[in-house]
Amino acid sequence: MQRERRVQVVLLFLMCGAGCGGSGTHLEDPAVCKAAWQPLTAPQPFLPVAGLVTQGQTVYYSTFSPSTLVAQPTDGSAPTTLASVGTAELWIEGDHLLFTGGDLANQIYSLPLTGGTPQLVLDGGAGRTSPNVAMAHAFTAGDFYWIEQDPTARGLANSTVWDQARSGGMPIQIGATSFTDPSGFDYPGIAIGLSASTLVIGSAFGQSATVPVGGGTAASLLAMPTASAEMNVESDLAGVDVLGAYWSVPGVGDQPGALILSPADGGPAKPFFASVPGNGLVRRIWPTGDGDWVMTSLEIYSDGIDHMTLWLVDAQGKATRLGCSPSAASNSWIEKGVAVAPDAVYVPAENLSADTWEIDRIAR
């Protein structure tokens, strides 16, 4: 379903060509940005199942078939398999990788960056008779937080929110959310962001909420990205962080799309930019950890082709184009998380037609 939607979006842009930007729209020459987009690895089959992370001169990633955790040197030399396990979520903490595992993805394991045997550090199902599937995690030095989906439930509270101290002890449910798709079925939270006092839960169809990290208060639904029910359904979750939930809202007619923020403080939805850089369609946005963001968008260039474009956005909202894919966006589709280093951004770029992927490097 998700793959079909992605392909449809790409085809729409391909069919539009240079004429979709409205009369008088200036289209950039892709020569200004595609040279910055360089392959780090050769294409390989089977897509990554977690976003990339990086430290020092190495990028780390996970694959599904075979299930592996891999260290890829940034000089392009041969990768090293660290462990024969796969994961949907991957982080770096100090000199270890942290990653999810278990049948319900509710266990957290630790692995030295040099490889070895993964060690269980947290079990979100401990002492529980019927834990559900963990959808996404966030953590601090003292706690892990996550969303669970009950795939069999209908009605309120389809997604529950949990906290477990890293020092051990029982998992504690601290909240529940209720999101509903256009057909009336419950829809789970699929992304989580964390501030000092609040968890931001992102779903789909323009729906998001906050849950206090201490629990005890009902989840608060955040503002829908637009006043139009139809446009909210079409809005795609671009990311979540301490500020709130970000939505990629497509344009109507020859109008460009918008990136809308549903603020975590419960305020009205508002554009994140006065106008989207390059007048493209934003796809995803991720905080870099130092007050900036990395953002991807689809943008039509003067060659009449849509290119996947990578931007660096600073705290004042100024966007700098870092690079654009050498060929069509469908050959460099970015869905998983990017890895940000001081001198470059590393992206897991999918070729949708060939069912391959590669790691590409875009200099900062």
269 vs 315, more confident: 269
C-alpha span between 335 and 325 (Å, rounded): 14
Residue 280 reports pLDDT greater than 70: yes
Place 196 in a pLDDT band, splitting at 50, 70 and 90. confident
Shortest CA distance to 179 belongs to which of 197, 153, 199, 215? 153
Tell me which of 149-153, 165-169, 265-269 is least confident.
149-153
Q: How far is residue 151's CA from residue 159's CA, in Å, rounded to a whole number? A: 9
Mean residue pLDDT across the chain: 90
3-state percent helix, strand, coil for the chain, nearest multiple of 5: 10, 45, 45
Q: Reply yes or no on whether the pLDDT at 51 is more than 50.
A: yes
Task: Please determine, for residue 73, whether its predicted confidence score (pLDDT) is greater than 80.
Answer: yes
Number of Cβ within 10 Å of residue 95's Cβ equals: 9
* pLDDT of amino acid 155: 53
Find, among 229, 217, 222, the residue nearest to 244 by Cα. 222
* Residue 195 and residue 242 in contact, taking contact as beta carbons nearer than 8 Å: yes
Share above pLDDT 90 across residues of the chain, in percent, rounded to a whole number: 76
Indicate whether 190 pLDDT > 80.
yes
Smallest CA-to-CA distance from 331 within 6, 59, 2, 4 is with 6
Q: Please say if the pLDDT value at position 302 is more than 70.
A: yes
Tell me, what's the pLDDT at 333?
Answer: 97
Task: Answer positive or negative: Cα dihedral of 354, 325, 76, 87.
Answer: negative
End-to-end CA distance of the chain, in Å?
34
Q: Can you give the pLDDT at residue 357?
A: 96
pLDDT digit string (tens) for 83-127? 999 999 999 999 999 999 999 999 999 999 999 999 999 999 999
Asked if residue 319 has pLDDT above 70, the reply is yes
Please give the pLDDT value at position 154: 59
What is the arithmetic mean of pLDDT over 336-350?
97
**Does the pLDDT value for residue 1 go beyond 90?**
no
Confidence of residue 25 (pLDDT cuts 50, 70, 90): low
Vertex 10, ends 8 and 13: CA angle to 5°? Answer: 110
Confidence tier at 153 by pLDDT (50, 70, 90): low
**253 exposure class (CB count in 10 Å sphere: 0-12, 13-18, 19+):** exposed
283 Cβ contact list (under 8 Å, min separation 6): 236, 238, 248, 296, 297, 298, 308, 334
Please give the share of the chain, as a percent, with pLDDT higher than 70. 91
* pLDDT in the model for residue 187: 86
- Angstrom distance (rounded) from CA 31 to CA 325: 10
Nearest partner of 89 among 75, 72, 109, judged by Cα:
109
Which stretch of 25-29, 88-92, 95-99, 150-154 has the lowest confidence by average pLDDT? 150-154
Provide CB contacts within 8 A for 8, sequence distance 6+.
none
Question: Mean pLDDT across the stretch 144-162?
Answer: 79
Task: Read off the pLDDT of residues 198-256 as tens digits, 9 standing for 90 and up.
Answer: 999 999 999 999 999 998 877 899 999 999 999 999 999 999 999 999 999 999 877 88
Dihedral sign, CA of 161, 260, 4, 69?
negative
Which of these ranges, 143-147, 157-161, 300-304, has the smallest mean pLDDT?
157-161
CA distances from 181 to 81, 147, 178, 188 (A): 40, 18, 10, 9
Q: What are phi and psi of 94, to 5 degrees?
A: 65, -125
Whether residue 184 is predicted with pLDDT greater than 90 in this model: the reply is no
Q: State whether the Cα torsion 317-322-327-329 is positive or negative.
A: negative
pLDDT at 218: 77
Task: Give the integer Cα–Cα distance in Å for 41 and 194.
Answer: 33
| Phi, psi (degrees; rounded to nearest 5) at 264 | -65, -20
Q: Which pLDDT band, with edges at 50, 70 and 90, does 34 fall under?
A: very high
